[in-house]
Amino acid sequence: MAEKITEQLKILKRGTVEVFTEAELAEKLTEAQKVGRQLRIKLGLDPTSPDIHLGHTVVLRKMRQFQDLGHKAVLIIGDYTARVGDPSGQNSTRPILSPEQIKQNAETYFAQAGKILDTSSKKLEVCYNSEWLAELTLMEVIQLAAKKTIAQMIQRDSFKLRLEKGIDVYTHEFLYPLMQGYDSVAIKSDVELGGTDQTFNNLVGRDIQKAYGQPQQIVITMPILVGLDGTEKMSKSKGNYIGVTDEPNDMFGKVMSISDEMMENYFTLLTDLPAERIAELTDASKTHPKEAKVLLGKTIVAQFYDERAADAAAAHFDQVFAQKQLPDDIPEFELPAEPLSVKQLLLACKLVSTGGEAKRMCAQSAVAIDGKKITDPNVQITPKSGMTLQVGKRKFAKIKLSN
RNA sequence: GGGUCGGUGCCCGAGAGGCUAAAGGGGAUGGGCUGUAAACCCAUUGGCGUAAGCCUACGUUGGUUCGAAUCCAACCCGGCCCA
């Protein structure tokens, strides 16, 4: 804790995109250390979807570093915001959640975030922004809105972009940054963390705090983690994510599927390895890319499980994909010993979701039963105990007879 | 409020009465090559049916026609222009 300020700054700056401003951060850290005060580090959460993925962990990991340096994480659950329905994204038909739903999501979120954060009450504080936002009168809202001009608002690129493209921007959307900014006032935040997509909102927080006569928070932005497809932001709705609750085998496999170019980014944002080591690992002349990726996969799995699970996942991967053998843990399905078509069989074992897909998979020689390729979806098969089915490279099922 | 243009499959986008389950991309999936990397090549991409075929689908609801994504009407939603 008594580490030098320069040392602390180095840790805190790692992986960030921008710090507004570094000088202020150094100042706050120094002051905090001198009087023994915990800085209040704000992070706003959207409780609309409870499951968190590695994209969220980039910011959470930064939060953890602050905690480890003795500061307090203040998580704000945007329950009030969520109730209005956040229109800022592509997804305009987001369901409006009930208070119970939000509470439940928040709990799930904590359980998952707890894998990264220090959850002791000394280091973590949680609040719901309805606590103060629901109290505001219209007059107070108007006064809040009077702090920013329209010209300032449309600086935000998501607004600008949509206006240029002729996509709707609703009036109340302008209130979102203001509400979030007001959150900073309510909790007296010293530092706010967020992805670069939150830069505008978080900076508004500075202005609002100033307008309300408070010291301004420092804003630290973290990169948006690219998803598995290598181009888009990691997100649940795009399906290009690694969830923190993914099974070790899955987690490892997903890491293995990222492109070589993305490794450096993942190493930097998702592990604590020093920059020099990362440079070695991502230099193909020094480390074979595949080896580096295995290490990345193991490191990530170990973070959420443990070393043993990480090794097991790597071994499983090697067994199934490198040596193309059957995995050890194949889901079992109970079936009676009555003949049925391959199509029905695949459906029954949930290896395909429609009969058409079953036909296609057969036609494309992706289907094997006990290691033998099946190309006719109408062949009659009598289930036998221990019979194994495979569709594609990674979908397996084992049959168990029911009596 | 007026004018005008538009709403097509997961997404973008063509189609302007039958040849349309609907061109072409993108994405996704399967196969090949590999390191479940990239690049590249091939294939598939509404549901049911062994099949013939049937059903559902071009904003919504009605209508005209032997036949409509395509024509007409009303309505809903949006862009742009005018007030």
User: What value of ipTM does the predicted structure carry?
Assistant: 0.84
Residue A90: pLDDT band (50, 70, 90) is very low
Residue A166: pLDDT band (50, 70, 90) is low
CATH annotation of A2-222: 3.40.50.620
Q: Which nucleotides of B are covered by protein (CB under 7 A)?
A: 27-31, 35-38, 43-51, 78-80
The SS3 assignment for A124 reads strand
pLDDT in tens, A256-310: 999 999 999 999 999 999 989 999 999 988 999 999 999 999 999 999 999 999 9
**pLDDT for the residue numbered A164:** 66
Any strand B atom closer than 7 Å to A393 CB: yes
A326 closest CA partner among A369, A380, A362: A369
In whole angstroms, what is the distance from residue A33 CA to residue A45 CA? Answer: 28
- Considering only CA atoms, name the residue closest to the C1' of nucleotide B39: A259
pTM of the model: 0.82
Q: Does residue A314 contact residue A298 with C-beta atoms inside 8 Å?
A: yes
Nucleotide nearest to A347 (CA to C1'): B48
Q: Which residues in range 300-339 of chain A are in contact with strand B, contact meaning CB within 7 A of any of its atoms?
A: 317, 321-322
In whole angstroms, what is the distance from residue A145 CA to residue A139 CA? Answer: 10
Nucleotide nearest to A284 (CA to C1'): B37
A84 pLDDT above the threshold of 70: no
A341 closest CA partner among A377, A308, A371: A377
In whole angstroms, what is the distance from residue A65 CA to residue A170 CA? Answer: 38
Residue A89: pLDDT band (50, 70, 90) is very low
Distance, angstroms, CA A170 to C1' B75?
24
Nucleotide nearest to A360 (CA to C1'): B44
Distance, angstroms, CA A363 to C1' B41?
19
Superfamily of domain A248-322: Tyrosyl-Transfer RNA Synthetase (1.10.240.10)
**pLDDT for the residue numbered A4:** 84
Any strand B atom closer than 7 Å to A352 CB: no
In whole angstroms, what is the distance from residue A180 CA to residue A78 CA? Answer: 9
Q: Does residue A209 contact residue A201 with C-beta atoms inside 8 Å?
A: no
Any strand B atom closer than 7 Å to A289 CB: yes
**Location of structure tokens 């199934």:** A320
A82 pLDDT above the threshold of 90: no
pLDDT in tens, A336-381: 988 999 999 999 999 998 999 999 999 998 999 998 888 899 999 9
Average pLDDT over chain A, rounded to an integer: 87
A200 pLDDT above the threshold of 70: yes
Domain ranges of chain A: 2-222, 248-322, 332-401
Question: For chain A, first and last CA: distance in Å?
Answer: 65
Any strand B atom closer than 7 Å to A378 CB: yes
**Interval A62-71 mean pLDDT:** 93
Of A1 and A166, more confident: A166
A211 pLDDT above the threshold of 80: yes
Furthest C-alpha separation in chain A: 79
Distance, angstroms, CA A170 to C1' B81?
21
Q: Does residue A202 contact residue A194 with C-beta atoms inside 8 Å?
A: yes
**Interval A232-245 mean pLDDT:** 86
Domain A332-401 in CATH 2.30.30.20: no
Distance, angstroms, CA A269 to C1' B17?
59
Sign, CA torsion A4/A10/A13/A15: negative
> What single-letter amino acid sits at A216?
Q
Phi, psi of A195 (to 5 degrees): -75, 170
